[in-house]
Structure 1
């Protein structure tokens, strides 16, 4: 253990959250620094940070948080009638019908049921930075399982596929719609496409530091290159794929591929989800109760064909109560590769974002420290 100064503020009643965060920040495995922000009924009640080179304004690579933000934009379009969940993807994007994918609906795509998780031979880093290139290759490629027969995490494909549908249907990119309709109006410190003038605030993502026991585990359990896991995470690519280098690429940050190119602060992402959880700045919630309920409902549940683990997906969002029982069935959000986690819970008015700089060992969908932080936040809010 090592002492780490914890900075920031908590409102009265949330002191216990600061205590838990301080314990986590003191763990030297977290020495890359972390941020925690919580909104309650639109008010910022927790704003904490600690660790090497990270303050409350540090911009971090938040990876798959972009999937949740993409889901929010799609939900707005569905809510307004610009997109239809049960319409075939190929009706907007004819090329996608190739190789037996003609019956895939937008609903199936959002629920990770399309089977289009990658391509033979994988992608280069430059390709993965460009959603249009990825989408074109995926459209021409066969799915890796019968569409809608099961679900599997479309790790590096989800954003390109969904983004192409939005572009074909509206003539606008998800990035443009997010900027105009969500980020700018709410002054969010979260970006799908990081402006170059904000680059000095970016803190590079740091690689995992496994213990000897963890190194031994990795050596004894190598990833098979022909597995669905390897294909979905581009580990079968001809040039080795480095997820840390992906997050640290200026090209990725500038173009913001929607599967993993989100950049921001915990404060910015918590504020974004506060606009989903309830009123914010005098504005009504972004999503109606009916839209939120439909996007929060588990559409895929059980064994994931890609990861082999048990999980659940709503429509783009992850139904967080399936992972964190202290949350309500309306809790929606998404994790990010280093172990970050963010969500909105409209039943309690809570919005939460934990962001970390260093990758955790097999942190999966949200680092284990979220298992301590989230119940502390829920308990503190309930006591008020």
Structure 2
């Protein structure tokens, strides 16, 4: 199949276009995707492909949303509004029940709270509402002793940290993000999509696993009461399909900070470029000490929820350790279940954003990102 590739690359980044074209033009069925990258604040890659898809199309980016949430927290820490080693109860007194009283904000951000979900689970409406999630989790007993281990708080971390933000500032995390990050840079990355922009949204589509992938799924231990099922809320009678989460207008409108964001690749890359580089005459959002803090690995090893090796910085994924070891130390970002990937590599000045419409297997960054990231990174180092 031949599929037209749109967009531009800067001189020296031609091989990125070649890699994008290789799979977009035939290796992936029904492909709709976007790729954008900046180096030291300059846009160097802006590509898209797929019928009905353009550079301004918006996709559900699932957990790449967490990058926006944690950038807000980083800014408030940088301001002195939040202190990482204060107890969460300093900001949110009701949180301190059932063994959670000693938990610090640092431990909460780094997936060490043990508060991955509810014994009884959440309703679909609750999962669209960060305030409802936070209120119910305040009374939940942790699933491991806080601070002793870590596990991915997939659907709740943004609500937990967002409640701390709300208590400290009187504003929701989404409001702070809009005011300090999205609006000033005109980013196509929304935590709460205005109704007037709905025509730009491309609904997430499922992708059937291959025979090999299905065999892997069948061999993976599952159960209705595992940590993973609680974390992903699949232990309730009618959990719904993950693919449908961003397809809900309620989710898109409220923009829950764990996984409800909607973005174009330009918005993902633009946010990380603004975080570490001068963009459009504006200084970087984060100071060097803050960049070092958020990229420093805080939790590494066996993830109790994912049941595999994982690494997290201060809320962000430690992208080099988790995905691409050729990237610079201190790279920070977050992938999403639909296949999106976004990060900043401060050492090379690279900011990267990728979206696609069809769900990736087995979740998280789509496999083609490895080739794309490598190509972009090599070109950035040579630039």
Distance in 2, matches of 1:26 and 1:115, equals 43
1:341 to 2:341 alignment: yes
The corresponding residue for 1:350 is 350
1:66 to 2:75 alignment: no
CA offset digits 1:137-194 (Å, max 9, x no partner): 1110100001000010000010110000000111011111111111111111111100
Q: Map 1:183-222 to 2 at 5 A.
A: 183-221=182-220
Residues paired across the two proteins, number: 382
Q: Map 1:279-294 to 2 at 5 A.
A: 279-294=278-293
Distance in 1, matches of 2:234 and 2:324, equals 29
Distance in 2, matches of 1:243 and 1:122, equals 15
1:149 to 2:113 alignment: no
The corresponding residue for 1:324 is 324
Distance in 1, matches of 2:21 and 2:2, equals 9
SS across alignment from 1:301: strand
**Deviation of the 1:284 alpha carbon:** 1.3
**Deviation of the 1:28 alpha carbon:** 4.9
Q: Is the 8 A contact 2:124 2:239 kept in 1?
A: no
1:169 to 2:165 alignment: no
Distance in 2, matches of 1:27 and 1:229, equals 34
* Superposed CA RMSD: 1.2
Distance in 1, matches of 2:118 and 2:202, equals 31
SS across alignment from 1:140: coil
Distance in 2, matches of 1:309 and 1:213, equals 20
Distance in 1, matches of 2:334 and 2:317, equals 6
SS across alignment from 2:36: strand
The corresponding residue for 1:91 is 90
Report which stretch shifted further, 148-157 or 90-99: 90-99
Q: Is the 8 A contact 2:62 2:260 kept in 1?
A: yes
SS across alignment from 1:253: helix
**Deviation of the 1:41 alpha carbon:** 1.5
**Deviation of the 1:330 alpha carbon:** 2.6
SS across alignment from 1:251: helix
SS across alignment from 1:343: strand
Distance in 2, matches of 1:32 and 1:17, equals 17
SS across alignment from 1:26: helix
The corresponding residue for 1:20 is 19
Q: Is the 8 A contact 1:5 1:51 kept in 2?
A: yes
Gaps of 5+ in 2: none
Q: Map 1:186-265 to 2 at 5 A.
A: 186-221=185-220, 223-265=222-264
Q: Is the 8 A contact 1:175 1:193 kept in 2?
A: yes
The corresponding residue for 2:363 is 363
**Deviation of the 1:234 alpha carbon:** 0.8
Distance in 1, matches of 2:154 and 2:228, equals 9
CA offset digits 1:332-352 (Å, max 9, x no partner): 110011111001112111110
TM-score scaled by length of structure 1? 0.97
CA offset digits 1:197-249 (Å, max 9, x no partner): 00000000011211233334333436211111111111111212311111100
SS across alignment from 1:185: helix
Distance in 1, matches of 2:299 and 2:212, equals 34
**Deviation of the 1:27 alpha carbon:** 4.0
TM-score scaled by length of structure 2? 0.97
Gaps of 5+ in 1: none
Distance in 1, matches of 2:84 and 2:238, equals 37
Q: Is the 8 A contact 2:336 2:363 kept in 1?
A: no
The corresponding residue for 2:46 is 47
Q: Is the 8 A contact 1:62 1:261 kept in 2?
A: yes
The corresponding residue for 2:266 is 267
The corresponding residue for 2:179 is 180
SS across alignment from 2:246: helix
Distance in 2, matches of 1:234 and 1:252, equals 16
**Deviation of the 1:95 alpha carbon:** 1.3
Report which stretch shifted further, 100-109 or 268-277: 268-277
Distance in 1, matches of 2:173 and 2:114, equals 22
The corresponding residue for 1:125 is 124
